[in-house]
Amino acid sequence: MKPVIAIVGRPNVGKSTLFNRLTKSRDAIVADFAGLTRDRHYGNGRQGRYEYIVIDTGGFEPDASDGIYREMARQTQQAVAEADVVIFVVDARAGVCAQDQDIANYLRRSGRPCVLVANKAEGMLEGAQPAQFYELGLGTVYPVSASHGQGVRDLVEVALDPLHLPEQDAPDANADKGTIRLAVAGRPNVGKSTLINTWLGEERLVVFDMPGTTRDAIVVPFERSGQRFELVDTAGLRRKGKVFAAVEKFSVVKTLQAIESAHVVLLVLDATQGVTDQDAHIAGYILESGRSVTLAVNKWDAVDAYQRQLLQRSIESRLAFLKFAALHFISAQKRQGLGPLWASIVQAYRSANCKMSTPVLTRLLLEAVQFQSPKRAGMFRPKMRYAHQGGMNPPVIVIHGNSLEHVTDAYKRFLEGRFRKAFDLEGTPLRIELKTSH
């Protein structure tokens, strides 16, 4: 599981700027979905060998009023509770103020590992100004400049190194090859625990006795029709004895961690509720993580034909970005439609790990271009020469040629469709990268 860093501090010290720095190394999709959570921002990040999740608590209006101040405290407390380490940001130029003191007191009491950072320290004499922050009682002060990117890489190391994290177990580094790690994700009450317990009670599904435990996570190994799986527990889901039960509080961080550690995510929606904002957030995180996904609309038994139609339409529009995922309508309670889910989950896993050879990719590419060539843009006509596979899980196809910066998104989607069809890729995101040689 990725470690979680929370960024706290009073308004205007540069928390959002630092958040953007820490998450910048990932794809731009992060930015596209950043606006989805209004109160707190969650993002994935990577610096050097460290991968992590960052929470920014800066999403509130700094207008001073009691209500807002209380809201800030609440945000800070929640983020701190979810974090492995806290980055406490102060303003190197403004010096210590009362609000900094309050936050420092809170952090000291919380007992969380904490790194004190004096931001906006660009161009300041080494060690001079930040020294006053020692009075906050949180030890060493690290000067950084979030907007100039100075000190940020070291900061990640300072924050994460003392946690002594085990080697991060990326799903593809899974020792037990061929075992599919499955996370069942979704809002509270959509029926996740009902579904899992129905599964685990089925005779076709052989649950192994010893659930393995990784850091903070419970993993249940089982086998179905000769295929090995591992169920990772998800936000709001915990194993209680032999059954899974929902816990009260939904945690975005736990959801993100489960998604990150899975090969395939089964996203469960509730037919009686339609597609809610929270569903869209979770879907956004899945897409951003690059994981494979299967969609299940549960409680299909509880809606009539009209509602079903509405629902299908709202899925098509609100979850259009997961169009590549198989969609199933199920009833966990009545045990309807559950069988076909497995085929889709396995298919999603296979698709994510699909191997595509350069000759085949290049042939498909040239056939596609012959069928429909990319549009000329002014003087430029993009010329595609060959393609190779740039990665797996999710698969990446790299296309080489000239003037490829003029290729439209619509044309990329056209190519994506051709590749998907040819390789029977269902349930996995597919990334297409264009490389122009000059």
Residues that bind ligand GDP (CB under 6 A): 9, 11-17, 58, 119-120, 122, 145-148, 186, 188-194, 236, 246, 298-299, 301-302, 331-334
Tell me, letter by letter, the H, E, C secondary structure of the chain.
CCCEEEEECCCCCCHHHHHHHHHCCCCCHHHHHHCCCCCCEEEEEEECCEEEEEEECCCCCCCCCHHHHHHHHHHHHHHHHHCCEEEEEEECCCCCCHHHHHHHHHHHHHCCCEEEEEECCCCCCCCCHHHHHHHHCCCCEEECECCCCECHHHHHHHHHHHHCCCCCCCHHHCCCCCCEEEEEECCCCCCHHHHHHHHHHCCCEEECCCCEEECCEEEEEEEECCEEEEEECCCCEEEECCEEEECCCCCHHHHHHHHHHCCEEEEEEECCCCCCHHHHHHHHHHHHHCCEEEEEEECHHHCCHHHHHHHHHHHHHHCHHHCCCEEEECECCCCECCHHHHHHHHHHHHHHCCCCCHHHHHHHHHHHHHHCCCCCECCECCEEEEEEEEECCCCEEEEEEECHHHCCHHHHHHHHHHHHHHHCCCCCCCEEEEEECC
Please say whether the beta carbons of 97 and 12 come within 8 A: no
Instruction: State which residue, 148 or 350, has the beta carbon closest to ligand GDP.
Output: 148
**Least Cβ distance, residue 46 to ligand GDP (angstroms):** 20
Please say whether the beta carbons of 165 and 157 come within 8 A: no
Instruction: State which residue, 76 or 261, has the beta carbon closest to ligand GDP.
Output: 76
**Least Cβ distance, residue 23 to ligand GDP (angstroms):** 13
Tell whether residue 149 is among the known ligand binding residues. no
Please say whether the beta carbons of 399 and 432 come within 8 A: yes
Tell whether residue 20 is among the known ligand binding residues. no
**Least Cβ distance, residue 181 to ligand GDP (angstroms):** 19
Instruction: State which residue, 206 or 243, has the beta carbon closest to ligand GDP.
Output: 243
Tell whether residue 337 is among the known ligand binding residues. no
Tell whether residue 197 is among the known ligand binding residues. no
**Least Cβ distance, residue 266 to ligand GDP (angstroms):** 12
| Cis peptide leading into residue 394 (ω within 30°) | yes
Tell whether residue 232 is among the known ligand binding residues. no
Instruction: State which residue, 122 or 433, has the beta carbon closest to ligand GDP.
Output: 122
Instruction: State which residue, 299 or 400, has the beta carbon closest to ligand GDP.
Output: 299
Instruction: State which residue, 2 or 15, has the beta carbon closest to ligand GDP.
Output: 15
Tell whether residue 225 is among the known ligand binding residues. no
User: Does the CA dihedral 148-154-157-159 come out positive or negative?
Assistant: negative
**Least Cβ distance, residue 234 to ligand GDP (angstroms):** 9
**Least Cβ distance, residue 108 to ligand GDP (angstroms):** 21
Instruction: State which residue, 59 or 390, has the beta carbon closest to ligand GDP.
Output: 59
Tell whether residue 112 is among the known ligand binding residues. no
**Least Cβ distance, residue 110 to ligand GDP (angstroms):** 19
Tell whether residue 13 is among the known ligand binding residues. yes
Tell whether residue 188 is among the known ligand binding residues. yes
Instruction: State which residue, 333 or 353, has the beta carbon closest to ligand GDP.
Output: 333
**Least Cβ distance, residue 408 to ligand GDP (angstroms):** 34
Tell whether residue 10 is among the known ligand binding residues. yes
Tell whether residue 207 is among the known ligand binding residues. no
- Binding-site residue positions for GTP: 9-16, 56-60, 119-122, 186-193, 233-237, 298-301
- Binding-site residue positions: 9-16, 56-60, 119-122, 186-193, 233-237, 298-301
